[in-house]
Structure 1
Amino acid sequence: MNIMSKIVLVGDGAVGSAFAYSVLQHGIVDELVLVDLRKTYTMGDAADLEDVTPMLYPARVYAGNYQDAADADIVVITAGIPRQVNESRLDLVNKNRQILASIVQPIVESGFSGCFVVSANPVDLLTALTQHLSGFPKQKVIGTGTALDSARLQVALSRALNISTRGIDAYVLGEHGDSSFGAFDEATINGQPLRSYPGVTPELLTTMMHQVQGKGGQIITNKGATYYGVATSLTKICQAILLDQAIALPVSAPLDGQYGLHGLYLGTPAIIARGGIRAVLEAQLSETEHQQMLASAATINSLLMAVE
């Protein structure tokens, strides 16, 4: 890379460490700083991670602090209390709001002027709070949103129809949580409308969304946490920013009139490039899907009013 790039990761837990490894595998960063309250652990993780760089791509990896964000391009926030079995993402709001406030202020005070990328849950709410707490322009604050949900939908469709995920263009929109929904009217498989693809029925699509919404909880029950998928989603967002890719990704983005909504972050396609969000896209939804988007917005708005 001709331009030196730097990412500060705040939260070196399961998601954070998986993200750090993914970033190094993709070779998109020259300097990676790990920040966590467990300083000794973070030093060990940085030492472990730097050992992969001679076999992959050169990069400096080290344990640091919030002041290291001063010249960073991106601050990734994965810090927070993880979701427990039988706990929804929205149950986490009061726990993780306090953690978020303790992170954002010192980062801003460091002189940081890059992009925030947030994956702590509930991600739509905490992304909005990061923007509010930082005072940054909305396009410079992004949440992972429904990127992971969309990947899970593509996996479910791939298995049900016995086809490669590469030919599936289908997004999950709305809240990253129980009110998410599939935008099936715009979805395609190998360029063909999803709804008319052989083997696709309304009942199948309903089953697919139930699988998507329940998969995170199932993984948590089986292994205690989910991290590979969301870590890869974070990498794709950071890659789009650092390489100025200008690609559409389903992220938690600020709505300003899209879907008739204002003043909140929700999962929707957005163009991600250098500087953050270049454009927020409005998917063409059916009336039923539009009502589902409004329901997601109502869920997030009720929480925003409670915490702000």
Structure 2
Amino acid sequence: MSRKVTIIGAGSVGSTITYTMAVNGLASEIVMIDVNTERALGEAMDIRQGTPFCSPIQIYAGTYEDAKDSDVVVITSGMPRKAGQSRIDLAQTNVDVIREIAPEIVKHAPDAIYILVSNPVDVLTYTFCKVSGLPENRIIGSGTILDTARLRSRLAEYLSISQKSIHAYVMGEHGDSSFVPWSTARVGSVEILDDKGGFNFTGRIKAKLNPEEIEQYIRTSGGKIIERKGATFYAIAISVCHIVDCLFGSSNRVMTVSSMLHGEYGIDDVCLSIPFIFGPQGICGNVLPAMTEQELEKLQHSADVLKGVIKQVNI
């Protein structure tokens, strides 16, 4: 079965996504597009030369015209976040990049599902919804899928339980106003915390769980990685490839990706992450867990933060 993916942006994130797709056999054809054509050519060549040990796949550098008949387009273009810089500080620069890219790529791949990865991802997802002319269900921001992965990874360390048995989400903005609705967090089908903040189950618990410490860890992880190695790209690449795998799957999945809200939790006209249902046709619904009044306030605050940024940029 032919599965064509176009990656716009051949920097560390775009190249790592391409590499991860190749190793996992997620696509049969990948086009890499970048304003730096030599970089795209080099990255494509480097990855392609290892593909004899992978599932059959074509990987090459190209132009927007080569994106024709793409099933999925992943947009990673934009200025990267620097140490000490918030995602929101990047807003106008990368909004301008999206406004430039959107008409060119949509002209050649009008039927693709689009995944926005560049930061601030919620603002850029909103921008793409407004300027692309595409149905909103075919526009997905990577949102807090990486934050959620970080949350589950951290909880697994605390609780000595497989990450796959932990069902907890980070919701809201992919940024400083994100939060964990702890009332919805589960191990198996049981709430992680009881009414007093203790555990509702027994096991090989390594340390007392501190929700505030865990949320701080999630929010600061990206910045710490940037300080230590200059950029983040492995974890986001794996996360994006998981989204692509779901889009190419035969059934729908629930994940915290970013999409336009239309009244969910009383929030409208902004893109942020709640548990959305998506699959081969893109976004097709959502799951709205019951949250406490305080958690609902945090979600509304996150929406307000993003709306404040949207008002300040020229879309």
Q: Which of the five TM-score ranges fits, normalised by the shorter chain?
A: over 0.9
Q: 1:242-289 CA deviation, whole Å, 9 max, x = no partner?
A: 223301111002211111111111111111211211112222211111
- Contact 2:70 2:109 survives alignment (8 Å): no
> Superposition pairs for residues 81-92 of structure 1, below 5 Å?
81-92=79-90
The secondary structure found in structure 1 opposite 2:23 is helix
Alignment of 1:276-295 (within 5 A): 276-295=282-301
Residues 274 and 288 in structure 2, CA contact (< 8 A), matched pair in contact too = yes
TM-score by length of 1: 0.95
Corresponding position of 1:230? 236
Q: Is the 8 A contact 1:114 1:275 kept in 2?
A: no
Checking the alignment, whether the CA contact within 8 Å between 1:194 and 1:200 is kept in structure 2 is: no
User: C-alpha deviations, 1:195-223, integer Å up to 9, x for none?
Assistant: 12456999611111011111111000000
Match of 2:46 among 33, 44, 48: 48
Deviation at 1:128, TM superposition (A): 0.8
Contact 2:158 2:207 in 1 (8 A): no
SS of the residue corresponding to residue 210 of structure 2 reads helix
Q: Is the 8 A contact 1:253 1:280 kept in 2?
A: no
Which residue pairs with 1:214 in the alignment? 220
Structure 1: distance between partners of 2:71 and 2:109:
12
Q: Distance in 1 between matches of 2:246 and 2:162?
A: 24
Where do 1:92-107 residues align within 5 Å? Answer: 92-107=90-105
Equivalent residue for 1:258?
A: 264
Distance 2:138 2:206 in 1: 38
Letter in 2 for 1:37: V
Distance, in Å, in 1 between the alignment partners of 2:218 and 2:98 is: 27
> Is the deviation greater in 241-250 or in 6-15?
241-250
1:97-152 deviations in Å (ceiling 9; x for gaps): 11111111111222522111001000001001011110111100000000000011
Q: Which residue of 1 aligns with 2:63?
A: 65
Query: Which position in structure 1 is the counterpart of 2:281?
Result: 275
Cα distance in 1 between the residues matched to 2:73 and 2:276: 19
Alpha-carbon distance in structure 1 between the residues aligned to 2:173 and 2:26? 29
- What is the CA–CA distance in structure 2 between the aligned matches of 1:42 and 1:211, rounded to whole Å? 34
Please name the residue that 1:74 is paired with. Answer: 72
Task: Check conservation: 1:170, 1:188, Cα contact below 8 A.
Answer: yes
Residue 173 of structure 1 aligns to a residue whose secondary structure is: coil
- Equivalent-residue separation in structure 1 for 2:280 and 2:296 (angstroms): 30
State the alpha-carbon separation in 2 of the partners of residues 219 and 26 from structure 1: 25
- The equivalent residue for 1:164 is 162
Question: How far is the alpha carbon of 1:69 from its aligned partner?
Answer: 2.0
CA contact (8 A) 2:160 2:206 kept: no
Residue 243 (structure 2) pairs with residue 245 (structure 1):
no
The 8 Å contact of residues 185 and 286 in structure 1, kept in 2 or not, is answered as: yes
Corresponding pairs, count: 306
Gaps of 5+ in 1: none
Distance 2:287 2:8 in 1: 29
CA distance in 2: counterparts of 1:293 and 1:202, whole angstroms = 26
Inter-CA distance 177–36: structure 2 relative to 1 (3 Å threshold): same
Task: Note the residue ranges of structure 2 that are not aligned, 5 or more in a row.
Answer: 194-199
Scaled by the length of structure 2, the TM-score of the pair is 0.93
Match of 1:31 among 26, 29, 32: 29
**AA aligned opposite 1:6:** K
In structure 2, C-alpha distance between the alignment counterparts of 1:68 and 1:80, rounded to whole Å: 21
Q: Does 1:148 align with 2:154?
A: no
Identical columns (%): 34
- 8 Å Cα contact 2:71-2:112 kept in structure 1: yes
Letter in 2 for 1:303: V
1:131 to 1:244, Cα distance in 2 relative to 1, 3 A:
farther
